[in-house]
Structure 1
């Protein structure tokens, strides 16, 4: 009986050989899980956002008006590549097994509704695993601030769900170190026109070559697709 059970539940050998089973040869984790180290120096995801519309005098309004602006504050979380300015090699002295650093940030932007352009700024902390190896990192090893110019005109104009950060500067606390950066916003969109999509599986980013890229499992917050921000130093 045990032998029969083993024959039923164990994967059959791959026909192509090479020492892999059929299951192993067909399973590709990249289909559902993104390696952020392969995307940019830092990859952040917009976990929450509070957005407001204002008129030309700065008063809150309930719909876009001439001369109006869009302001927002977002909570961001993501990863910095080991060896990048936000995850320097000395991190290994604190967390010897680290392959990347977690980054938490609060960012705010102020954009013209007419042009989709404006400014952004915020503060961040870099964290590694602390007193719980199971949950997300929490031990702060670095803090700092950032600012730059935001250009979401492609998204505002309905051309593409993209935006850009230009003239960005990161200032790391505790010294005079400042690093320039650029960035790309990728907003998740539907492209299949699904009428019923309770799990929001019909969600895609648009790549640099204009192709749709499915929003992976680890690019969602509580199951909801998020805006992805790719930072390059």
Structure 2
């Protein structure tokens, strides 16, 4: 369930190193970013603020791709990788949804990663060049109340760290960059 929401959430409306894997950029469909759920851990707990209501808590690692030229894959930052067709994005997301309403908050962290120097071309990207957080509100009322696997989400990404192009070291931004998103 979280996967569908994360995929939708990360379709940036405002606009990793994937190597030569053309099929990955083709799957982005011009939306900017697509993430896939790798696994999910779900628990159900009483809602302390509403007697008798149960909350569904989910945590998921995510991986996907961002198109070059989007805020999460800026071409000027990644100019040293001229063959790059998309950036790899990894994230961990959490949501807490009321089983009575299907509504709740969502949040997490993300990194845009590339192959570290010395890695082979088949090694997974592992060197963060952009890091940040995301948060928002999820509406799973159709899924929770009517068993229709649809939801919507609205919130923002905040880019908090960028790699220095000269050293490759991640450093804080003096002014974090906030990017709104929404999706279904």
* TM score, norm. by length of structure 1: 0.58
Pairwise CA distance, 1:39: 5.5
Say which structure, 1 or 2, has more relative contact order (CA 8 Å, 6+ apart). 2
Equivalent of residue 43 in structure 1, options 24, 31, 34:
34
Q: 2:43 aligns with which of 31, 41, 52?
A: 52
Q: Which of the two has higher C-alpha Rg?
A: 1
Structure 1 gaps, min length 5: 1-28, 59-64, 185-233
Q: What count of residue pairs does the alignment treat as equivalent? A: 147
- Structure 1 counterpart SS, 2:75: coil
Structure 2, unmatched stretches of 5+, are 1-21, 161-171
- Superposed displacement of residue 41, structure 1: 1.3
Q: Secondary structure at the match of 2:48?
A: coil
Q: Matches of 2:101 and 2:131 in 1, distance apart?
A: 32
| Alpha-carbon distance in structure 1 between the residues aligned to 2:146 and 2:84 | 40
State how far apart, in whole Å, the 1-side matches of 2:74 and 2:32 are.
11
Residue aligning to 1:138 = 126
- What's 2:180 paired with? 180
Q: Which of 114, 127, 130 is matched with 2:113 structurally?
A: 127
Secondary structure at 1:155's aligned position in 2? Answer: helix
- Structure 1: distance between partners of 2:41 and 2:150: 19
Q: Distance in 2 between matches of 1:165 and 1:77?
A: 18
- The separation in 2 between residues aligned to 1:147 and 1:156, in whole angstroms, is 21
Deviations 1:182-210 (A, max 9, x none): 133xxxxxxxxxxxxxxxxxxxxxxxxxx
Q: Which of these residues, 135, 142, 156, is aligned with residue 169 of structure 1?
A: 156
Q: TM-score, normalised by structure 2?
A: 0.72
The equivalences for 1:83-162 within 5 A come to 83-130=69-116, 131-162=119-150
* Residue aligned with 2:74, SS: coil
Q: Which has the higher strand share?
A: 2
Distance 2:151 2:141 in 1: 7
**1:14-46 CA deviation, whole Å, 9 max, x = no partner?**
xxxxxxxxxxxxxxx98xx88332162110011
The answer as to whether partners of 1:95 and 1:129 remain within 8 angstroms in 2 is no
CA RMSD of aligned residues (A): 2.3
Moved over 3 A (4+): none
Query: Kindly tell me: are residues 57 and 81 of structure 1, through their superposed partners in 2, closer, same or farther at Cα, counting changes over 3 Å?
Result: same
Task: Describe the shift of the 1:124–1:151 C-alpha distance in structure 2 as closer, same or farther (beyond 3 A).
Answer: same
